[in-house]
Structure 1
Amino acid sequence: MTQLIDAGLAKTEKEAKVKESLGVAVNIVLSATNIISAASQAVPQAALAWTGICIALEMFINPVTATEANRKGIDYVVKRMDWYWNLSTSILGDPTNNISELDGMKDKLENQIVDLYKALLSYQIKSVYAYYRKRGLVFLRDIITLDDWKADLGVIQDAEKRFQNDAQTYTNQQVTSHLEQLVRQQMSEKDQQYLKHVRLTDPRHDKIRIEQTKGGLLQDLYRWVLDNADLQQWRDDPQHRLLWIKGDPGKGKTMLLCGIIDELDQGKIADVRHCNVAYFFCQATDSRINNAAAVLRGLIYLLIEQQPSVLSHVRKEYDCRRESLQRCKYLGRPIEYFHQYFTDSNLRTTYLVIDALDECVATDLPQLLDFIAQQSSSGSRVKWIVSSRNWPQIEKGLKIATAKLNVSLEINAKSVATAVNTFIQHKVDQLKELKEYSLTTKNAVHDYLRSNAQDTFLWVALVCQALVGLEVEEWNTEKTLRTFPPGLDALYLRMKQDISQSLNSDLCREVLAIVAIVHRPVSLHELATYVKLPSIACNNLKSLEAIIGLCGSFLTSREHIVYFVYQSAKDFCLAMPLIKPATKLLRRTGSFLLGKKM
């Protein structure tokens, strides 16, 4: 391209010099226009002739002006092309500058530089065409100003301004991120000790575990909520700082929040250059993450990880009360830390997400709800998203929030149904590959699931999990499917009956009882210590996994840790006669202290 431009400029150099000289002469004549016009007024014929001369001169000045504008413009464009090539390589091409939290900004900046390159190349290509056209045609085009070189250069300069502004913002954020990384690397031993004590679990690890346990996060399952009017109002209106997503068990609330968190992390929901995103997943079956103090401590931990400068607000309290923090289940102190955090003048826009408030222990819940409602009603730069079942006490606790928005999964039943159907298609595709179903069997499974799911993700997941575990001939698949009734409660009853009628009924009853009453998820090895297992199964992880599989899809295991598939499954097991005798016996013998011993 550079060679073509240089050759074109050389080819038209003589013409440009002639036009330059002509332009000087014409400008001299035009500068005397007022004097000559005044003198010719006395002679009408002369005035008419002079008017014609002026029009002709104006027409001749256009090619002169166009040539001058193009040659100045092409010189500017070629130099800027080299400059932006080196600048973009420096800003975007240095692997040491890669910061994952700035990926969204980097992508937008790359789009800006591409647009700028397009404008620069377009100007150069258009100029090359002009240099190699027939000169008479170029002259005629210039007379009627078909090629507006000044306007084309203006487009380039506008694109430059946008890129320069965005590049400056990106560079500033890079500097801030690098400084925070340095602060993080240079944290004192006391700071590291504080971070170690402030959390009970890492919410990021909990999120990964939840997504993997539920079979992975599919964008099509949560995309609908991004277009929801209430979520968009929460996103766009600074006065609305609390969004409550509520729905019945198994409707996909947790995966919705996982998707929203990902969108926030990637900068796709919030139109912000840089922000903090902290989240927490309550789980009633794990005492480490089922209380309000754990919720706030988990949020504080992620916030400090993202913005280490806020650590100073809580270090003083920590130094004075280290021991109490380590065993703290009292909500007051974490709330004090948050009050200090919210008053930080350097606080970035912050998004706090809490899933499954209904799985927080009842004694803590009212104070946590009151704290969320009050903070979301204040004029801070913090926005909240919470989820729970449709519990009246939660609605009452959040009632004082002055700018609360709700997303009800029951009101949005059509969107949920579409997402469930997408989930069914995904699970059926997996079953077809795993079980090698024919197209007829695949369609039969798909139709039964769609007809009986009642818009419940959990029901679909449990039925598909059962089909995977059962050794059923393909021709008996439809008959087996009909044994799974619609509705979660009915399905749980059917699973209970299977356990009662199995040869391993006593063993399953003991396993379910242990997992139901422990204070945190139990490992397979720990489970083997407290359950009377067949000798062949002792210290055999595969056999232990098989025993979990015998428990009728109530339980699941990941990395040798056993969990209930859902809180409703645990509630059902605790209430059913099948394991009540075992749980009573365990409590009577003191084995309920299992959680502390482990």
Structure 2
Amino acid sequence: MASSTSFNGPNSGFQVMQNDGHITAQFLQSNTSLSQASLNQACLRDLRTTNPYDDKKRIKNTNGGLLRDSYRWILDNKEFKHWQGSPGNRLLWIRGDPGKGKTMLLCGIIEELAHMNRDNTATISFFFCQATDIRINNATAVLRGLIYSLVITRPSLLVHVRSRYDQAGKALFEDVNAWSALSAIFTDILEDPALEDAYIVIDALDECINGLASLLDLIVQESIIHQRVKWIVSSRNWPEIIERLDSTQISPIPLELNEAFISEAVNRFIKHRVYELTKIKNYSDETRDSVNDYLLSNSQGTFLWVSLVCRELSRTLRWNTLRKLEAFPPGLDALYGRMIERVLNSENADICIQLLALVSIVYRPVTMDELCMMIEMPSVIADDHEALSGIIAMCGSFLALRQNTIMFIHQSAKEFLLQEAPNKLFPKGIEAKHHLIFTRSLSSLFQTLQRDIYSIKAPGFPARQVKKPNPDPLRATRYACIYWVEHLHASGWHRTVGSSFDDEGYVGGFLQKKYLEWLEALSILGSIPYGIQAMQKLEVMIQEKSKSQVLLNRARDASRFIQYHKTAIESSPLQVYHSPLIFSPRESLTKMCYQHKRPAWLLNDPMVVENWSLCLQTLEGHSKEITQIAWSPDGSRLASVSDDHTIRIWDPATGQTIMTLKPDDSELRVNSIAWSPDGSQLASASDVISIWDLATGQTMSILEHTVRISTIVWSPDGSRLASACLDTIKIWDPATGQTILVLEHTCFVTAISWSPDGSRLASASFENTVEIWHLASGQTILILEYIDLVTAVAWSPDGSRLASASRETVYIRDLTTGQSILTFEGHRYSVESITWSQDGSRFASASTDKTVRIWDPATGQTISILEHTDWVKAITWSPDGSRLASASKDTINIWDLTTKHSMSKLQGHGNSVSLIAWSHDGSRVASASVDKAVRIWDPVTGQTILRLEHYRSVSAITWSLDGSRLASASYGGMVTIWNVVTGQIMSALEGHKNRVESIAWQQDGNRLASASDEAIRIWDPATGQIAILEGHKGVTSLAWSHDGDRLASASDDTVRIWSPATGQCVSTIHISSPINSLNFLKFDAVDSYKLHTNHGTLDIGPIGSFTNLSHWPTLPDLHGYGLKDDKSWITYNGVKILWLPVEYRFAYLYPSSTLPAKLVIGCSTGGRCIFLILAVPNDMAGLPKVN
């Protein structure tokens, strides 16, 4: 069973301003804990979406109570007894048409099973699906309900939930992986020996709206595997359910074949209900008999018909009973028809029809608060829930009110109104009603939405920890927040739609005035993916229906805005007013429109790029390097495999993980993945080939290999699978698991690729060749030779050409002649992956030079260069050619290749920025890159002042105190002193043999310290004379005391204090986990016995009085601006305030000598530096520190 778990990193930060605290023992271990009982209760609260016991009680009460005479026939049924008594018969399926009493029948069976289980040896778990209730109409909700009822009955089983819940929290039950995780938990529970015998009952499978196929597969599979568990399910006679459940191992009880028993049960039900009515209404014998006879004559064996008629009679005056009784026609549809006629003829017809029409077409049941925002009604009713409840009761028994939510009494009632009475509900057409809901929804959002609507205050406060206030300001607009675009889309070409798409119409005004507040609300509601889909749909609608280019541009920009900043907004609602308004491009229409809302403590306008890049969004979720990615054949999904031993299936439109697959042997590294041509299966290769069913997330079959497989590829027709391991290629029949053909190389095979027609296979090997195989004969028909190793091959869509990558070059070969047609040159380092667009008009290559190049295969010219933050390991083209996915490190980028505008390029390094250093007066910044250059920047203008060229890549830089000199160190061991006015070299200091890790000027500028070769050298820059301090390995940072009498050096293990005068180490402080990587040191300007680090402040005291760090008793308070360890957030006083997009996480925050603080971020793409001038955010006082 596939499952996954996500872990969050620590929240320690790199603090760069004053820190008056101390590093302590509490830093090494948490001093807070909750009792196991409290944790169990928290887990149960988060697991519960409904209590099935409460649902059963509600259902019984709604239907007038449970009458044993109405269900006891099933207890004597042959199939039921066979299911009950036969160990091999474990799944009973009760099926029948609407209104036949399936739900009450299952209620009765549950109570009988409970009665038989008085010794409590068996466990009973059950769930009632209901299509009109979004909480309980999906497969995930079914599993949550079943697991909940199991663990409250058998508390020891909660351990299976806690094992995952303790790591993931409430998200375990609600995120996109919930089905996979809950399936695994459910299986673990069923396998627990403590469960002994169990009964699992699921009612109304046909009312499981989402995930029905997965639920059916799970039911069938688990009923076969677990002999101690017996199942009962019920449903309508739907073909898709019949297809999956119609098996010899399943005992079906079709109610239509038990008509006599059902009829008798209905008669008993009638007798009971008439008795109840007689007691309440004080019927005469004549009235009682007349009611009883009429119900018996017209019920047609339908419980629901009887229930609805009795419900109406309970509201009828006694003297009017017989006259009204005859108005109820036989048959459910006829009764519904009579009910709607009564509504139309009532004095409240207008508001009742509005209400029925609305409830018929909303995308989930609405609450009374939401209802009042979406239909016109007198204010005296809208403000009075009791009056509104009365209106609902007047809707002809079609509706029921359950916990403030309006629902249909039965799914068949909704179906009748939409199929048989649309003209009565929608006299102007259903599209007009959708448009009215849209306009009223948008109007309610205009009235309600405001910045920080939940008074969260902290810009980095996690969405998952936000508590709903009472009263909830979003209570009336929750539905509108999520579904307003859906209703606009459903409006079709209704005549009033055009006004919505004017420049300043409904939509234009909303995007200009309430868009950020809407995104904040979506984040609070956990619905950012809905927002992404809504904006994509809105953009298409405007393009089709509006003549306004202004509105189209605004919607397109708003769509890019939410996609690019998805992670920031989704994680923290108030971040929408911070990071997106800083890091969006300068020409972003959304950014310009809301610029006045950006944080007041940002004092400058950072020089970011001018336009949106081609990167639509970045998918984050894997914890280790991604090795391969692949689009599904229809382009709706993206698969990725990572060194974290998981395979993820993504929705590339929203950036959400749909499914996480984890091989049974989690220690095996998956090397390759391949989609089946129909998209229903995924093959993955490790030491074996696993074929996954993507409907269920289960492994369908395993193809055994003897050694590790390097790559797999599915044939175009899906009938064969090719795998390469060592020097052998195997062709498989995935249906049978048999090897069809074996192709032998003499060296290791590096890549394979099928021809488009499936008749040939190309394979590259360590022989520096590519062989073309004819698969019918198993013979080589062509050998292509290369100078170097070929790492990737790809056929052109027409099969006439083959692309191959060798080192940093890509070759296109003619497969008729074997000759090279074109050579693509431009990458600086090895090409790792290549792919053709499906129409053959473009070609893409990915390289370890951190770029993807898009080529014109006709000319060999580069069309686009897509920059990344790290090596690019894999690329894949969407089937329609509009998007390219690329994998770099542990993230995936989705690129829009339809965009025609050119991206502005700020002046910068030729590669990503690797080092940054502020001058001491804060007026200049130096940056270094692997492009072998150091740039001097003006942080106010963002422009380069000076460029200093080196022969080797630069490993360390530091300014002299007066700012006149800059010292730089290289990977070759050279330390160079520069005059930053003239750009000339003042001196070159040679002595180190290897890379210099850190350098530091003494305050008076007369000495310079550098660390390398397990030694620290102290230089006189004027003479080049040196002193050597030996004995400290792996030094990452150096710092001089202000008087120059001491030098501090830090490594992963220790901080050492040296006397430069004697060359002796005067103290060693030992560092223990989790305090690692002390990459920043600075002596305090006032108290020379305090040494600031990126983890806190060391009070080193007089020389010789130091103690071991692990013995210190107090936790450091973090002051000023800092960075989280993963550099995804800028913090202030330890509180997260600004999220950094992926390409800005190569960040360095250095203190300046004056306030406000001046921070610099080195961009990992484009070689640029971004400068932030930040004031003290006074409104942050008292805000909680949160992870």
Please tell me the TM-score bracket, short chain as reference: 0.5 to 0.7
8 Å CA contact 1:288–1:520 kept in 2: the answer is no
Select between 542-551 and 257-266 the one with higher mean Cα deviation. Answer: 542-551
1:257 aligned residue: 106
Residues 491-520 of structure 1 deviation map (CA, whole Å, 9 limit, x = unaligned):
111111222222222201222233334555
1:483 to 321, 327, 331: 327
TM norm structure 1: 0.64
2:439 aligned residue: 589
Residues 444-483 of structure 1 deviation map (CA, whole Å, 9 limit, x = unaligned):
1111111110000111111121222234734xx3332222
Q: Say which structure is richer in helix.
A: 1
The answer to whether structure 1 residue 311 and structure 2 residue 138 are counterparts is no
1:367 aligned residue: 214
Change (3 A) 1:594 1:486: farther
The answer to whether structure 1 residue 567 and structure 2 residue 411 are counterparts is yes
8 Å CA contact 1:373–1:399 kept in 2: the answer is no
The answer to whether structure 1 residue 350 and structure 2 residue 198 are counterparts is yes
8 Å CA contact 2:123–2:195 kept in 1: the answer is no
Note the residue ranges of structure 1 that are not aligned, 5 or more in a row: 1-184
Letter of the structure 2 residue corresponding to residue 595 of structure 1: Y
2:287 aligned residue: 441
1:277 aligned residue: 124
Q: What secondary structure sits across from 1:380 in the alignment?
A: coil
Q: What secondary structure sits across from 1:479 in the alignment?
A: helix
Residues 537-594 of structure 1 deviation map (CA, whole Å, 9 limit, x = unaligned):
3443442232112101101235654331111112223333233447423553374975
8 Å CA contact 2:96–2:255 kept in 1: the answer is yes
1:338 aligned residue: 186
Distance 2:364 2:124 in 1: 27
Distance 1:256 1:386 in 2: 11
Distance 1:346 1:558 in 2: 37
Distance 1:406 1:272 in 2: 29
Residues 316-336 of structure 1 deviation map (CA, whole Å, 9 limit, x = unaligned):
222333353242365222111
8 Å CA contact 1:285–1:519 kept in 2: the answer is no
Within 5 Å, which residues of 2 pair with 1:547-566?
Answer: 547-558=391-402, 560-566=404-410
Distance 1:502 1:540 in 2: 21
Select between 587-596 and 293-302 the one with higher mean Cα deviation. Answer: 587-596
- Cα shift at 1:535: 4.2
Letter of the structure 2 residue corresponding to residue 225 of structure 1: I
1:119 aligned residue: none
Q: Say which structure is richer in strand.
A: 2
Change (3 A) 1:207 1:186: farther
- Cα shift at 1:188: 3.5
8 Å CA contact 2:46–2:170 kept in 1: the answer is no
The answer to whether structure 1 residue 193 and structure 2 residue 42 are counterparts is yes
8 Å CA contact 1:199–1:294 kept in 2: the answer is no
Within 5 Å, which residues of 2 pair with 1:116-127?
Answer: none
2:65 aligned residue: 216
Change (3 A) 1:503 1:394: same
Note the residue ranges of structure 2 that are not aligned, 5 or more in a row: 1-33, 443-476, 482-524, 526-1187
Within 5 Å, which residues of 2 pair with 1:405-420?
Answer: 405-420=251-266
Within 5 Å, which residues of 2 pair with 1:377-392?
Answer: 377-392=224-239
Letter of the structure 2 residue corresponding to residue 301 of structure 1: Y
Residues 246-298 of structure 1 deviation map (CA, whole Å, 9 limit, x = unaligned):
11111111011111111122226xx9751111110000011110000110111
Aligned length: 408
Select between 452-461 and 227-236 the one with higher mean Cα deviation. Answer: 227-236
Residues 204-230 of structure 1 deviation map (CA, whole Å, 9 limit, x = unaligned):
111111111111111111111111111
Letter of the structure 1 residue corresponding to residue 138 of structure 2: N
Q: What secondary structure sits across from 1:470 in the alignment?
A: coil
Q: What secondary structure sits across from 1:191 in the alignment?
A: helix
Distance 1:236 1:523 in 2: 46
Select between 330-339 and 363-372 the one with higher mean Cα deviation. Answer: 330-339
Change (3 A) 1:479 1:437: same
2:82 to 233, 252, 268: 233
Select between 374-383 and 385-394 the one with higher mean Cα deviation. Answer: 374-383
Structure with bigger RCO (C-alpha 8 Å, 6+ apart): 1
2:348 to 501, 504, 514: 504
Distance 2:365 2:239 in 1: 29
Q: What secondary structure sits across from 2:53 in the alignment?
A: helix
Percent identical residues: 47
2:136 aligned residue: 289
1:493 to 337, 362, 370: 337
Change (3 A) 1:253 1:450: same
Distance 1:346 1:539 in 2: 53
8 Å CA contact 2:373–2:441 kept in 1: the answer is no
Change (3 A) 1:528 1:499: same
Distance 1:470 1:334 in 2: 48
Q: What secondary structure sits across from 1:458 in the alignment?
A: helix
TM norm structure 2: 0.33
Letter of the structure 2 residue corresponding to residue 589 of structure 1: T
Letter of the structure 2 residue corresponding to residue 579 of structure 1: L
The answer to whether structure 1 residue 395 and structure 2 residue 245 are counterparts is no
Change (3 A) 1:420 1:586: farther
Distance 2:405 2:389 in 1: 10
Distance 1:273 1:198 in 2: 24
- Cα shift at 1:192: 2.2
1:451 aligned residue: 297
Letter of the structure 1 residue corresponding to residue 479 of structure 2: G
Letter of the structure 2 residue corresponding to residue 416 of structure 1: I
Letter of the structure 1 residue corresponding to residue 152 of structure 2: E
Q: What secondary structure sits across from 2:257 in the alignment?
A: coil
- Cα shift at 1:529: 4.5
Within 5 Å, which residues of 2 pair with 1:17-96?
Answer: none
Change (3 A) 1:293 1:559: closer
Residues 342-374 of structure 1 deviation map (CA, whole Å, 9 limit, x = unaligned):
22233221111000000001x411111111011
8 Å CA contact 2:281–2:318 kept in 1: the answer is no
Change (3 A) 1:323 1:514: same
Letter of the structure 1 residue corresponding to residue 180 of structure 2: G
Change (3 A) 1:538 1:346: closer
Distance 1:196 1:596 in 2: 27
Select between 500-509 and 573-582 the one with higher mean Cα deviation. Answer: 573-582
Q: What secondary structure sits across from 1:208 in the alignment?
A: helix
Q: What secondary structure sits across from 2:193 in the alignment?
A: coil
Letter of the structure 1 residue corresponding to residue 356 of structure 2: L
Letter of the structure 1 residue corresponding to residue 341 of structure 2: Q
Structural RMSD (CA): 2.6
8 Å CA contact 1:518–1:594 kept in 2: the answer is no
1:460 to 303, 306, 314: 306
